[in-house]
Amino acid sequence: MESFLEILSYIWWVLLAIMILVFVHEMGHFLLAKLFKMRVDRFSVGFPPKIFGKKIGETEYVLGATPLGGYVKIAGMVDESLDTEEMESEPQPWEFRAKPVWQRIIVITAGVIFNIVLAFAIFAGLKLAYGETYIPADNIEAVFVEEGTLAHEMGLRTGDQIVAVNGEALERLDGPDVLNMRSLAADRLTITVQRAGESLTFEAPDDIMTRLNRSGGRFGTSYYPSLVGNVIEGSAAAEAGLQAGDRIVALGGEPVRFWNEMTQRIQVSEGAPLTVRWIRPDSLLAVGEGQEANTRPVAAASGGQVFESTLTPQVEEGRFYIGIYPPTEEMLLSEFG
């Protein structure tokens, strides 16, 4: 019963959203028709059968029982009703067909324009209400640089802190890569990093865009930490006892710090068993109790507990995986925000 009510709730919100879109769309046609002094015979939200109707002036305002559309009936315009009788007489000044072409075009396109304005208003309202969330670049103290990539060839190394791109301070990060395509496409890309207290500047090759296209746009830098966003049920990670919120700190006996560093190690393993070590925060220690038969607590850590387990990566379409997802946006904001 509860599930049925939940489905009804979703249907209600979907229908409400459709009705709002329809209302705004038809309002666009209606207002522009009125602006150009066209006679509007009917303004309807919803299709027949009619639930409610009231005539005010020359226009009948209607609410239909089928909430999947609506229409505005303008005098002198052949619409979905296909009423062509009045077309046999001479055009009247208040009719759609009597107006200049530019006015008719505006009336026809007004619905789409009003929907675009609505989308912009909703986006602006949400942005005003909730603000804009992003990760300040200053909070990223180090990046991972994959060997063999363009970033590595330029001279960047894992552990570098990127402080400037093309001579300008890097302000924000919007995705898993430190640099976006706009930065990479700049004329003579330069990247300034801090390394062991020293400031170093590296210059990209002239054919950077060609080489990026060949590599699928992969520059080779990332900053995502080795935090577990979620665990796939029945996967090797789940059987090992990993859960969302854990931070993997070692893989195969080697320390790891970054998500891409971890996934690279998993590929190199080629499916051989791996020893995984992670830190679980104190806030999560009570979660999943009794489901960690394969997990061994090995030490206490600041604010958490260190666990260790051995798992065997699974393979799918030639790639090895252990069954975990990257950190969520909320985790990243908590880590770096």
CA dihedral 224, 227, 233, 237 (to 10 degrees): 110
Cis check for the bond before 67: say yes or no (omega within 30 of 0): no
Number of other CB atoms surrounding residue 270 within 10 Å = 9
Q: How many CA atoms lie within 13 A of 264 on its CB side?
A: 15
Tell me if residue 26 is catalytic.
yes
What backbone phi and psi angles, to 5 degrees, belong to 312? -115, 115
Query: Of 81, 49, 42, which is closest to residue 66 (Cα–Cα)?
Result: 49
C-beta separation of 264 from 253 below 8 A: no
Q: Say if residue 229 is exposed, middle or buried (CB neighbours under 10 Å; 0-12, 13-18, 19+).
A: middle
In the 8-state DSSP scheme, what is residue 138? Answer: G
Cα–Cα dist 286/275, whole Å: 23
Cα–Cα dist 240/312, whole Å: 9
Local structure of 221: helix, strand or coil: strand
Local structure of 117: helix, strand or coil: helix
Active-site hit among 2, 26, 80, 317: 26
**C-alpha R_g of the chain:** 30
Name the amino acid, one letter, at 305.
Answer: Q
Cα–Cα dist 307/65, whole Å: 60
Residues forming beta bridges with residue 74, ordered by sequence position: 40
C-beta separation of 54 from 60 below 8 A: yes
Positions marked catalytic: 26
